[in-house]
Amino acid sequence: MMAQNADQLPMDYASLVRSRKPSGAGREFPAWLESRRQNARERLQTVGFPTRADESWKFSKVEPVLAQLFSPADSESMALPDMREASLLASEESVRGFFCGDRFAGADRPAAHLADRNEIMPLSEAILKKPGLLEKYLLSKAGVEDNGLSCANDFLFRDGILIHVGKGMKAALPLYTMLAGGGYGQERPAYHPRVLVVLEEGAEATWVLDQRSADDKAYFSNSAVEIFLEPSAHLDWIQIRRENAQAFNLTEIRSCMGAGSRLTLTDYVRGGAWSHLRFNGVLSGDTAACELRHLSILDGDTVATKYIFMEHAASHCLSRQLDKNILSGRSISEFNSIVHVAKQTAGSDSGQSNRNLLLSPEARAWSRPQLKIEADDVKATHGSATGPLTDTELFYLQSRGLDRSVARSLLTFGFAEEVLEKVSVDKIHQNLTQDAQSQLDKMLRMLV
Amino acid sequence: MPMLGIQDLHAEVAEKNILKGITLEVNPGEVHAIMGPNGSGKSTLAKVIAGDPNVTVSRGILRYEGRDLKDLDPEQRALAGIFLAFQYPTEIPGVNNASFLRMAYNAKRKAAGQGELDPLEFDEVLQERMKIVQAPREFLDRNVNHGFSGGEKKRNEILQMAVLQPKLALLDETDSGLDVDALRVVADGVNRLRSKENAVVLVTHYQRLLNYIVPDRVHILVDGRIVKSGGKELALTVEQKGYDWLSVHGRTA
């Protein structure tokens, strides 16, 4: 990986981060965490910030982002709006936690569930209340697929949220986390929120992560999500990324999936200036399963890219990826996904499918599904298709009496719905369906 | 005036001449079978009538109920009563089959100046039409043709036909991919939808479908031209002798 020459870019995010020491040293964090943070800072000096020369960042356009004049936010002085009103789930139908930038802005749970052993609390509180749990998991996978931006989160995060579901417990209600980025009165702040999800053996939960903008100002959210599924745990995760046209969002996910566990992620992206999702998943126990579904609806100059590394490290594991993007304007998407099947595993089953619908000749979709197979007994499929709606598809609907604009709208929405229909929480499904419908209608009207 | 009047029709696909002078008349109440070897232009003939944008008419007359079809978009042709059961129906992931059928049904009602049906009202119509073609209830919960087997797709096409009740039904190799039982069900459905007012054009490679849907006229298409027309017995002759004995302009096809 090439390091960026930070000295020639004074005041940019990269050089500011390079020169920064871990914040709040010795005051908020215990020694083990302080040491991990310091270690992350040292790794950053070694690995440097990503450049396009790095295959896994090739089309992400990360260099312009790093050159932006973002500076780590002064979260203490932020005036926090109450985001509860904007919540997608009401207080009686979910267990909720709110973040503004990377500052904890409150949590609540329905009175009927106060006795639940399912914990949702800020990391700053968890460090005091659950030191053993945090020491076991927090930043424990740091160093895996390192890059300067993940290191930056590792040593600059000041708070975040812990989701912990105890052994054999089933979270009766969806867990809801809002990460609201925004200017909050600051000039181009950068946030480093962190989420730790631990599902103990046999635990089950549905988790909604709602990443959004609290205002229309420029900001950079460099977030990290660590997920640990112990044997037979099941996490159904819905992630929504809807941000303003000046928002930059990096979401770095590391997920470790134990024997018989199952992770499903349904990821929805609409808007934003730049977003990049990095998913590093390790199916570490036999018969673990992971299903990733993604839908982007992009217009203007939006860039939304993904890098996925799915490691089949044990036998009889299953992974599925369905990645769909609808692009208009000069927007860009990338599906860069590697499935690695390790030696001495048997019965791996993986599938990668990427479909891109181009509504404009200037839009670009890069598709790079890749397989690295070191075992013999493997079932692996991958496929990719990119293009506009075809006359053949449109003709089929027209031949049933629907006019061309209705046919186009139906096909475009149907393209999106294949992902949306997987959203398991009805109210979220309705919200996203309406959101997608209204955005697609707007995009299609502009084509006429 | 015939329902469908075609004279000296020439048509191209990707700048290649496929239809090279077709003349054909279809009247209300009639069933016509178009047979011919692979690549003879059978499907192109069905598609050009339905308005497939991949097929360009280069010459000739194509009229339906006296109107020049070349002036009509595919949806206008559909609303005027033309229906094409596709050889390869398009899969539409994310669009529910029942909703799609209602949209198509309502589009037709709207064009006829009638009010649209809500989902409950439409369900009554649907139940009745599903019986005609013995379509399984689960078809309705699935997305249009998505994940359907070849045979299921064909049955779904006939269900659409039953819902839309066209005046002119064009069935493009609806028999291919069907086993004998499914073929009989589909054929029964088509027969039950026949009336004095509507007409059917069957495009088929094999004679077996014609055991179930008995045609009034059979036309053999070879290299873009109708080389022979006759009654239903012509299909049996083809079954026995193949297509090679039929020649076009001195050439054997």
User: Which residues in chain B are contacts of A326 at CB distance < 8 A?
Assistant: none
Q: List helix spans (H) across A138-194.
A: 148-156
CB spacing of A396 vs B83 below 8 angstroms: no
pLDDT tier for residue B165 given thresholds of 50, 70 and 90: very high
Specify whether the CB–CB gap between A340 and A369 falls below 8 A.
Answer: no
For residue range A347-358, list pLDDT tens digits in order.
999 999 999 999
CA distances B8 to A204, A265, B44, B180, B200, Å, are 69, 58, 15, 37, 21
Q: Cβ contacts of residue B235 below 8 Å, gap of 6+?
A: B33, B35, B207, B210, B215, B218
CB spacing of B53 vs A415 below 8 angstroms: no
User: What pLDDT is stored for residue B106 in this prediction?
Assistant: 97
Specify whether the CB–CB gap between A357 and A419 falls below 8 A.
Answer: no
User: What pLDDT is stored for residue B253 in this prediction?
Assistant: 37
In whole angstroms, give the CA distance from residue A287 to residue A284.
9
Residue B50 has its nearest CB partner, among A394, A399, A406, at: A399
Q: Mean pLDDT score of chain B, rounded to an integer?
A: 92
Q: Cβ contacts of residue B139 below 8 Å, gap of 6+?
A: B97, B130, B152, B155, B156, B159
Across A65-71, average pLDDT:
85
Whether chain A has a CB inside 8 Å of the CB on B104: the answer is yes
% of chain A at pLDDT higher than 90 = 71
For residue range B10-64, list pLDDT tens digits in order.
999 999 999 999 999 999 999 999 999 989 999 999 999 999 999 999 999 999 9
According to DSSP, the β-strands at B31-35 and A247-257 are unpaired
pLDDT top residue among B177 and A289 = A289
User: What pLDDT is stored for residue A115 in this prediction?
Assistant: 55
In whole angstroms, give the CA distance from residue B9 to residue A70.
67
User: Which residues in chain B are contacts of A395 at CB distance < 8 A?
Assistant: 50-54, 74
For chains A and B, CB pairs below 8 A equal 85
A287 by Cβ neighbours in 10 Å (0-12 / 13-18 / 19+) ranks as middle
pLDDT tier for residue A448 given thresholds of 50, 70 and 90: low
Measured between CA atoms, how close is B240 to chain A, in angstroms? 35
Q: List helix spans (H) across A1-130.
A: 13-18, 31-47, 62-66, 123-129
Domain boundaries, chain A: 6-285, 389-448
B25 by Cβ neighbours in 10 Å (0-12 / 13-18 / 19+) ranks as middle
% of chain B at pLDDT higher than 70 = 97
Residue A3 has pLDDT above 60, yes or no: no
- Averaging pLDDT over each range in A120-129, A186-195, B76-85, B176-185, which range is the top one? B76-85
State the best of B43, B55, B84, B90 to mutate against chain A, taking most chain A CBs within 10 Å: B90
Residue A375 has pLDDT above 70, yes or no: yes
Residue A26 has pLDDT above 50, yes or no: no
Residue A389 has pLDDT above 70, yes or no: yes
CA distances A212 to A167, A247, A377, B130, Å, are 32, 9, 43, 46
Domains and CATH numbers, chain B: 4-252 (3.40.50.300)
In whole angstroms, give the CA distance from residue A238 to residue B190.
46
Compare all CA atoms of chain A with the CA of B99 and give the residue at the minimum distance: A410
Compare all CA atoms of chain B with the CA of A409 and give the residue at the minimum distance: B95
Specify whether the CB–CB gap between A54 and A2 falls below 8 A.
Answer: yes
- Please name the residues between 105 and 124 in chain B that touch chain A, using a CB distance below 8 Å: 107-108, 111
In whole angstroms, give the CA distance from residue A390 to residue B59.
26
pLDDT tier for residue A111 given thresholds of 50, 70 and 90: low
First to last CA, chain A: 45
Specify whether the CB–CB gap between A148 and A48 falls below 8 A.
Answer: yes
Residue A7 has pLDDT above 70, yes or no: no
Measured between CA atoms, how close is B88 to chain A, in angstroms? 10
Whether chain A has a CB inside 8 Å of the CB on B72: the answer is no
User: Which residues in chain A are contacts of B75 at CB distance < 8 A?
Assistant: 398-404, 407
For residue range A247-287, list pLDDT tens digits in order.
999 999 999 999 999 999 999 999 999 999 999 999 999 99
- Smallest CA-to-CA distance from A214 within A255, A176, A180, A239 is with A180
User: What pLDDT is stored for residue A249 in this prediction?
Assistant: 97
pLDDT top residue among A172 and A216 = A216
Whether chain A has a CB inside 8 Å of the CB on B94: the answer is yes
Residue A117 has pLDDT above 70, yes or no: no
CB spacing of B104 vs A401 below 8 angstroms: yes
pLDDT tier for residue B240 given thresholds of 50, 70 and 90: confident
Beginning with the edge strand found earlier in the chain, give each strand of the sheet holding B55-64 in spatial order: B16-26, B4-13, B55-64, B67-68
Across A305-332, average pLDDT:
97
User: What pLDDT is stored for residue A421 in this prediction?
Assistant: 94
- Please name the residues between 190 and 249 in chain B that touch chain A, using a CB distance below 8 Å: none
As given in the structure block, the two tokens for residue A248 are 């930059």
CB spacing of A413 vs B84 below 8 angstroms: no
- Lowest average pLDDT, out of A117-121, A169-173, A226-230, A399-403, goes to A117-121
Q: Mean pLDDT score of chain A, rounded to an integer?
A: 91
What secondary structure does DSSP assign to A98-139, as a single string?
EEETTEEEEEE--GGGTT---EEEEHHHHHHH-HHHHHHHTT
Residue A393 has its nearest CB partner, among B73, B90, B160, at: B90
User: Which residues in chain B are contacts of A407 at CB distance < 8 A?
Assistant: 75
As given in the structure block, the two tokens for residue A38 are 């310091």
In whole angstroms, give the CA distance from residue A399 to residue B170.
11
User: What pLDDT is stored for residue A143 in this prediction?
Assistant: 62
Measured between CA atoms, how close is B18 to chain A, in angstroms? 18
User: What pLDDT is stored for residue A114 in this prediction?
Assistant: 54
Measured between CA atoms, how close is A403 to chain B, in angstroms? 6
CB spacing of A401 vs B90 below 8 angstroms: no
pLDDT tier for residue A243 given thresholds of 50, 70 and 90: very high
- Please name the residues between 147 and 186 in chain B that touch chain A, using a CB distance below 8 Å: 160, 164
Measured between CA atoms, how close is A241 to chain B, in angstroms? 21
% of chain B at pLDDT higher than 90 = 77
CB spacing of B93 vs A410 below 8 angstroms: no
- Averaging pLDDT over each range in A31-45, A145-159, B129-143, B219-233, which range is the top one? B219-233
